[in-house]
Amino acid sequence: MSKILDQKIALITGGSRGIGAAIVKRLAREGANVALTYSNSPERAREVVAAAEALGVKAIAIQADSANTEAVTAAVERTVVEFGGLDILVNNAGVLAVAPLEEFKLEDFDRTVAVNIRAVFVATQAAARHMKDGGRIINIGSTNAERMPFAGGGVYAMSKSALQGLAQGLARDLGPRGITINNVQPGPVNTEMNPEDGAFAEMLKKINAMPRYGTAEEIAGMVAYLAGPEAGYVTGASLMIDGGFSA
């Protein structure tokens, strides 16, 4: 069977666990050679690389803290050197800090902006210098960009809302080259950071139109679609995959 991303080259930031790891494996399954970044989990990164290689593609892991601008740029450059180009960038790395307004630490604010917004711009800018016409840039946002139903999440929601404006604006820069840029906006997804069991999870399930958590593989499926040839006319969009959380 033909694979929709055969011989494409993809970089996924924050690809050693959760949604990022699922994206790495799905793009590899579709035939893409994959690079992933990780911050502090080399063992998990190696496991994801091994899983991708088992699917018959090339894979590498690159240590890079997304809060470090130089590290983000270097990850893009290394991917290009190792694989000979770059076709797909998935800006997945993100952080979540939740606290009451009066207690929210400024250093948490700054790191949220650095990882969730600045790193996306830096990686996108660096990748665009190497992408040929028809490249794909996909940001992992959040349904909280449009709905934050509990206190303490304002800074996180702000960071994900910023990606909506960024994608819309950069779609104009990149459109003449046939490069698309879109956001995927998950709702509650079963990961280590946000497990589907517990009091907090039960509260979120009650908000959803579909009273369950999503899976990382479901998010990866939407990313694979946006990375593929059938999504060539989709750009500047923020696509919900949230079980009706924002409905």
- What residues are annotated to the active site? 156
Please choose, from the candidates 37, 47, 41, 34, the residue with its C-alpha nearest in 3D space to the C-alpha of residue 3.
34
CA dihedral sign, ordered 198, 45, 25, 241? positive
Closest CA to 12 of 105, 99, 120, 98: 120
What is the strand order of the sheet 238-241 is part of?
59-63, 33-38, 9-12, 88-91, 136-140, 180-186, 238-241
| Tokens linked to 20 | 């990022």
For the chain, the residue count is: 247
Q: Which amino acid is at 48?
A: V
CB 19 within 8 A of CB 189: yes
Backbone Cα Rg of the chain: 17
Cα–Cα nearest to 9, from 25, 27, 21: 27
Report the Cα–Cα distance between both ends of the chain, in Å, rounded: 37
In whole angstroms, give the CA distance from residue 206 to residue 189: 14
